[in-house]
Amino acid sequence: MVYARLILLRLFKAAIVLLMIIIFNFLLIQLAPGDPAAIMAGEAGAADEAFIAQLRERFGLDQPLYVQLWKYVSGILSLDFGYSYRQQMPVLDLILDRLPATLLLTGTAFVLSLVLGIVAGSMAAMRARKPSGSVIMALALLFYATPLFWVALMAVVLFSVYLDWLPAYGMFTVGANLQGLDLVLDIALHLILPATTLGLFFMAVYTRMTRTSMLEAAQQDYVKTARAKGLAPGVIQRRHILRNALLPIITLAGLQAGQMVGGAILTETVFAWPGIGRLMHEALVQRDYNLLLGVFFFSAAMVILFNIITDLIYRIADPRIKEASA
């Protein structure tokens, strides 16, 4: 009951925030120099006024800004995201077409970084004063500090060019026409490099945070009590220390999860992964406003959604929060 009311309230707030984001994005985008008609004319080499006027009229860019805004917002309310100027397809189709690829990539990276990060962080916390703990932390610091695109390029050079173990780019082998399990394996193989690259940074962050947070929790009185009760060290680690150390990690995971739609531009570009990030970058360069706004909308919705989910998970992880807000 409490959950239902809470969720409803949050969804209502979310809708208002989303509407504001749409309007703000729409206005912000107008500040960029150049418009899609001019860019498309430029590409086509049309030194011809008629051509540009034709395009502007077709895209509705010849109308006053407030009319364009009104049309856009009322369109979205009926789930019509408009038409991509450049790709000549409905924006929703384009986005839904690319969404699975991106979610597969970012979702894998998310799970990978979260699980490995927490495991590595716990190990580092338990070995805080041993060399093995320092090695983990040194690696975490290295990945934390290394730029993503560099890691990506180096991974390609090492694993694809030198060792020839993994495919360098793409989501599946073009021209192989694989089916069923073979296709799944093929995609999995293509997924390894980009997902690892994308996950490394957050893995490092989780590792560092888990360690710090666990060391802090280990100082608490209830841990001493648990020890005094004679509980096994493993149980204390998991149930008393780790669980209490999880809150900041959940916060961070919520942030990372919110970036799942639009957060992989670099990785998708380097690895030619056919996802949303690339779609967004191309739309930006080509001033394909409708498409860009559509991607912005989905990214914003994702962030809001994961904020809500994070809040709910807080309550499960730490029942004290529920009592405080109820």
Partner 1 sequence: MNEPLPPSRSELPCGNETALPTAPGLRKLFGGLGLTILTALPISALAEETQEQPRRGGVIDTIIQPEPPGLVLGMIQNAPTRTVAGNIYEGLLRYTTDLEPIPQLAESWDVSEDGKVYTFHLRENVLWHDGEPFTAADAVFSADVFHRELNPSARAVLEHVESIEAPDDHTVVFTLKQPFGPFLLSFEAGTFTMVPKHIYEGTDFRNNDANNHPIGTGPFKFDSWDRGTVIKLTRNEDYYEEDLPYLDGVNWHIIPDGASRAVAYENGTVDVLPYGTVENFDVPRLSELDNTCSTEQGHEYFSPFAMLWMNNRHGPMTDKRFRQAVMYAMDREFARDVLWNGMGQVPLGAFGSNARFQNEDLTPYDYDPDRARELLDEMGYDGTEVTLLPVPYGETWTRWAEAVQQNLKEVGINVRTVATDVGGWNQRLAERDYDLAFTYLYQYGDPALGISRSYLSTNTAAGSPWNNVEGYANPKVDELFNAAATAHPDSEREALYHEVQEILQEDVPLGWLLELGFPTIYRCNVKNLVNSAVGVNEGFRDAWIDE
Distances (CA, A) of 319 to 226, 247, 323, 326: 20, 11, 7, 11
The interface with partner 1 within residues 229-268 (CB under 8 A) comprises 268
Residue 88 in the binding site for partner 1 (CB under 8 A)? yes
Least distance CB 171 / partner 1 (angstroms): 6
Name the segment binding partner 1 (CB under 8 A); options: 71-79, 91-99, 116-124, 208-216: 91-99
Residue 168 · residue 156 · CB < 8 Å: yes
Four-residue CA torsion sign, 5, 304, 67, 279 = negative
Residue 188 Cβ vs partner 1, minimum distance, rounded to whole Å: 17
- Bridge partner residues of 90 (DSSP): 83
Options 17, 29, 60, 86; binder of partner 1; rule CB under 8 A: 86
- Taking the complex as a whole, how short is the minimal distance between the CB of residue 21 and partner 1, in angstroms? 23
Q: Is residue 269 near partner 1 by the rule CB under 8 A?
A: yes
Q: If you count DSSP H runs as helices and E runs as strands, how many of each does the chain have, helices first?
A: 15, 0
- The reply on whether position 57 binds partner 1 by CB under 8 A is no
Location of structure tokens 């051509």: 51
Q: Establish if 275 lies at the interface with partner 1 (CB under 8 A).
A: yes
**For partner 1, which stretch binds (CB under 8 A), given 104-112, 131-139, 235-243, 274-282?**
274-282
The count of residues interacting with partner 1 (CB under 8 A) is 54
31 binds partner 1 (CB under 8 A): no
267 membership: H or E segment, kind and range: helix 265-270
Taking the complex as a whole, the smallest distance from the CB of residue 295 to partner 1 amounts, in Å, to 13
Residues sharing a CB contact under 8 Å with residue 103, sequence separation 6 or more, in sequence order = 260, 261
What whole-number distance in Å separates Cα of residue 123 and Cα of residue 125? 5
278 lies in the binding site for partner 1 (CB under 8 A): yes
Residue 49 is a binding residue for partner 1 (CB under 8 A): yes
Which one, 13 or 58, has the nearer CB to partner 1?
A: 58
Q: From the CB of 262, what's the least distance to partner 1, in Å?
A: 15
Residue of the chain from 8, 32, 115, 185 that contacts partner 1 (CB under 8 A): 32
Residue position matching structure tokens 């960029």: 32
Cα–Cα distance for residue pair 125/235, rounded to 1 Å = 15
SS3 string, 128-170, reads: CCCHHHHHHHHHHHHHHHCCHHHHHHHHHHHHHHHCCCCCCCC
**Stretch touching partner 1 by CB under 8 A, among 67-75, 105-113, 270-278, 295-303:** 270-278
Per DSSP, 80 falls in state: -
* Residue 129 tokens, joined: 């004063």
List C-alpha distances in Å: 78 to 1, 8, 73, 82, 271: 30, 21, 9, 11, 35
Q: Measure CA 161 to chain center.
A: 28
Of 8, 43, 96, 115, the one binding partner 1 (CB under 8 A) is 43
Binding segment (CB under 8 A) for partner 1, from list 82-90, 210-218, 225-233, 248-256: 82-90
Site for partner 1 in 118-177 (CB under 8 A): 153, 156-157, 160-161, 164, 167-172, 174-175
Binding residues vs partner 1 (CB under 8 A): 32-35, 38-52, 58, 86-88, 94, 97-98, 101, 153, 156-157, 160-161, 164, 167-172, 174-175, 268-272, 274-275, 278-279, 282, 285-287
